[in-house]
Chains A and B, each alone.
Chain A
């Protein structure tokens, strides 16, 4: 009896905790509302299954626990029941998978006309690069990394010269403009994670990965590293500021290009 009651309390307690929990996802700030919807569908299906199974167990423990003279029913198989359960499960699984794959297709397909921004991770800071007036990012390679070229841009590539370099500072993005982040690391794995954007993707040294989204709300959002990257992993934070186009342009004009930064370091070296 006690065991049955505790099982019921575990099932109902879990549901109550879910409903009353003050810990819930952050208000969304991107176009990935579909992700939240898929999570809600999944919560419903799994919640019903969990509650049903635990309550059924509680009922069995209550109804069929040992009493003198009780004998179990000899009941080896029931093909019909087993097939029904299999089919119902398959349908439930399909109901979660189908919307999931539908959204995943959107998640990995970048719409044409999306502007590109490069994110560079290194122990333990975030840097960014925006294409300059030619709207093209120049090539890069870890081999070019040096104190006056911290992001490893190709100095021989004319496309790279007008690229805007933001070293260890905040990234600004214009509101409602789709953006494709090209992710690159110069040392170890990192992961670009902004909870409000519902995006996360690893930065892998030696290759370029990507993720895209549309910022739909202005504000300053915390950028966290979500892939263990060494001792100061927990402190590898950044900020992404989403603002109106006009404010964004003001910010953009204050940033330095690769050519300006290298010229400045050259000058500094010469005067020394």
Chain B
């Protein structure tokens, strides 16, 4: 789309804002703690998400140590193992990835990229963060509660989630459900804000089809999340009722360790449908912002417009819509009516088509580009590798007959870590290296960044690529130890030790990354306002880091799409979105 002009610049009304309209903070507390500035809220979200993410990272080391050296760690029993995998999964999916992409990047980037002064409801935005923090604290509390956190797996399937054969049945499951309910309440406040800001607060000239794909990704993911989280919300409330009040939403008549319980007539499959009606879109809640961000990283660092912008937008929307009709592909072997398999297999494989289009357009953006192998670009490349790999193994699992032998094995673990663990996290890293200069005014250290990238990418690939083959062999997931299993050769233990070594190495590299984040805050090279020579509006702010209200006296006016890189005839190899067409001719 070559769209570089809008009408005559003279017809555009000035957009001065009187200073009194900006609820400026009056004290240190309202500036840094109870702040209503989306940028501060974004940093609060990001720090909280990364901190709880560290807990999940440590849990992953314990899980891997147990798998490599079974029964040599006396501190980890079967109960603890289940608690670790449950908390690791839930923290990573919800409290790290969802919160960081939407609460972190969404808050920081949406107002800046669409040329708004802030989110449209700043007060609600602030409350959103504090409710999220409360949700995290409730989750952390379950580690210290009697009986510990729940060990029911991150899917929390009843009946076992609330029966005594599962650890954390006393307090863990209650706190987990309470925390999820709080998270969803907090997210809904933030999410409505992101959607309304994108629809209502774009600056003059910023048409929808001129928005950077980052905004399209975060916007679409937020809409998906607002529609999907309610299913988890009601599921959580109903499961909480089953646990505390003795209702039977999900509980049929069961015998627990020889005792008849009072439950009657509930359906465990109903929970699974509710869970996955949320759970599958959740994959895209994480993936779609990553799609958007990585498009902008590739375009900026390859100095080339994103290939097929309109197709990219429509693909994001198509994926978002289709993500609501594929959920039962998680349930091919759940005991639901197997004839559903035909429908869900078809929808699932159809979703591969818009997803493949996105991949083609990313690599075609590299084609005949001017590729700068900066750290953000390297992470973007590693995203494509892991995402393509994980997406393709999704075609195995989406096909019901192939899913039968592979589901509930390590193949699934490898698949989803590749596609929604590594791939989005690589985008997060790339995005942090890319936008850190805007947030802090300083560059992250390049050498440490290169080290962090190579260890993380090659290490993570060596963790998850071989893991598929354990699943192909038939090793089930969520097993505390293999014990005597005829189908598992001794070489599988060697492979497990290798994977654990790689996991610990990758974990160490994250410490280098954290060090870089803190060190560069004080010692990093000053960045200037637009170190990557990017076109989008957040790089055109009058101040770096941008002040409260983002734009000084007058809002920017947008004259072109976000991808005017290497335009023929232009002096520079980028033309900012707010540069009028006349300036180029001059």
Let me know if B357 and A200 touch, CB within 8 A: no
Let me know if B389 and A50 touch, CB within 8 A: yes
Let me know if B255 and A206 touch, CB within 8 A: no
| Complex contacts, A132 vs chain B, CB 8 Å | none
| Complex contacts, A252 vs chain B, CB 8 Å | none
B373 interface hit (Cβ, 8 Å)? yes
B310 interface hit (Cβ, 8 Å)? yes
Let me know if B163 and A35 touch, CB within 8 A: no
Let me know if A147 and B258 touch, CB within 8 A: yes
| Docked pose: A183 CA to B157 CA in angstroms | 18
Q: Which of A70, A228, A235 has the most CB of B within 10 A?
A: A228
**Nearest chain B CB to A9's CB is how many angstroms away?**
9
The 8 A CB mask of B304-321 against A (1 = contact, 0 = none) is 110111110000000000
Interface-forming stretch among B176-184, B276-284, B333-341, B527-535?
A: B333-341
| Residues from 311 to 365 in B contacting A, C-beta threshold 8 Å | 311, 333-335, 338-339, 341-342, 345-346, 349-350, 352-353, 356-357, 359-361, 363-364
Please classify how large the interface on chain B is, using the bins under 10, 10 to 19, 20 to 34, 35 or more: 35 or more
B143 interface hit (Cβ, 8 Å)? no
The 8 A CB mask of A24-49 against B (1 = contact, 0 = none) is 11100000101100110010011001
Let me know if A46 and B342 touch, CB within 8 A: no
| Complex contacts, A22 vs chain B, CB 8 Å | 489, 491
Which residue on chain A has the smallest CB distance to residue B465? A14
Let me know if A38 and B401 touch, CB within 8 A: yes
| Docked pose: A46 CA to B370 CA in angstroms | 29
Let me know if A143 and B409 touch, CB within 8 A: no
Please classify how large the interface on chain A is, using the bins under 10, 10 to 19, 20 to 34, 35 or more: 35 or more
| Docked pose: A81 CA to B365 CA in angstroms | 13
Let me know if A82 and B353 touch, CB within 8 A: no
Q: Contacting B253 at CB < 8 Å: which of A21, A71, A89, A206?
A: A206
Let me know if A193 and B157 touch, CB within 8 A: no
| Docked pose: A64 CA to B303 CA in angstroms | 11
| Residues from 60 to 94 in B contacting A, C-beta threshold 8 Å | 78-79, 82
The 8 A CB mask of B217-259 against A (1 = contact, 0 = none) is 0000000000000000000000000000000000011111110
| Given A24-B473, A64-B366, A195-B474, A229 contacting B165 (CB threshold 8 A) | yes
Q: Contacting A42 at CB < 8 Å: which of B361, B395, B409?
A: B395
Interface-forming stretch among B97-105, B263-271, B503-511, B538-546?
A: B263-271
A107 interface hit (Cβ, 8 Å)? yes
Let me know if A77 and B363 touch, CB within 8 A: no
**Nearest chain B CB to A150's CB is how many angstroms away?**
9
Let me know if B82 and A228 touch, CB within 8 A: yes
Let me know if B369 and A72 touch, CB within 8 A: yes
| Given A60-B369, A231-B167, A89 contacting B402 (CB threshold 8 A) | no
| Complex contacts, A93 vs chain B, CB 8 Å | 349-350, 352-353, 395
Let me know if B333 and A201 touch, CB within 8 A: yes
| Docked pose: A164 CA to B211 CA in angstroms | 68
| Complex contacts, B47 vs chain A, CB 8 Å | none
Let me know if B487 and A195 touch, CB within 8 A: yes
**Nearest chain A CB to B250's CB is how many angstroms away?**
10
| Complex contacts, B479 vs chain A, CB 8 Å | 233-234
Let me know if B163 and A230 touch, CB within 8 A: yes
| Docked pose: A81 CA to B334 CA in angstroms | 41
| Given A78-B308, A93-B353, A189-B268, A46 contacting B487 (CB threshold 8 A) | no
Q: Would you list 20 pairs from A and B whose C-beta atoms are within 8 A, ordered by A residue? A: A23-B470, A26-B473, A45-B395, A57-B363, A64-B369, A65-B371, A72-B303, A74-B568, A76-B305, A77-B309, A85-B357, A142-B252, A191-B408, A199-B405, A200-B333, A206-B265, A207-B267, A225-B476, A230-B163, A232-B165
Apart from A22-B491, A96-B395, 11 more pairs, CB < 8 Å: A23-B495, A38-B402, A72-B303, A78-B307, A86-B357, A93-B349, A100-B399, A207-B269, A230-B160, A231-B166, A232-B78
